[in-house]
Amino acid sequence: MNDELNDPELQKILSKKANQILNSLKEKVEEPVKHLNSKNFEEFITKNKIAVVDFWAEWCAPCFILAPIIEELANDYPQVAFGKLNTEENQDIVMRYGIMSLPTVMLFKNGEPVDQILGAVPREEIEVRIKALLE
């Protein structure tokens, strides 16, 4: 048994796997809400069964009220992917989804938009809609 643990090839594989696990945990801890842009948006909504996207802008005061609520939900619902998209920097996506008010929270299931919430709303309002998608 000890000889197996001293196998350099096995040690290499175990070390690589341990690093992969640590990196994935770091990503979750460091960034519960992923920053989205034109390059990663499509992959984000399609690779995650349920995705919640917060459309925001730096000049939008209600967006800053909503941001900590989105972060709390991201921590409480690890099975749901949460992202935020700066509307000023990603007009192509804003136009594609017809975003006209900020903040707008759009919920996607299997890559398709299924619900949206306008304005800085209480946590419970977003949570009810997330739970409905999880059922």
Which of 134, 135, 31, 20 has the alpha carbon at shortest distance from 77?
A: 134
- Does residue 31 carry a catalytic annotation? no
The catalytically annotated residue of 36, 45, 63, 70 is 63
Which of 40, 49, 57, 60 is catalytic? The answer is 60
DSSP 56-79: E-TT-HHHHHHHHHHHHHHHH-TT
| Annotated catalytic residue 63 | yes
Burial of 8-46, coded b for 16+ CB within 10 Å and e otherwise, reads eeeeeeeeeeeeeeeeeeeeeeeebbbebeeeebeebbe
Structure tokens given for 26: 């770091």
Catalytically annotated residues:
60, 63
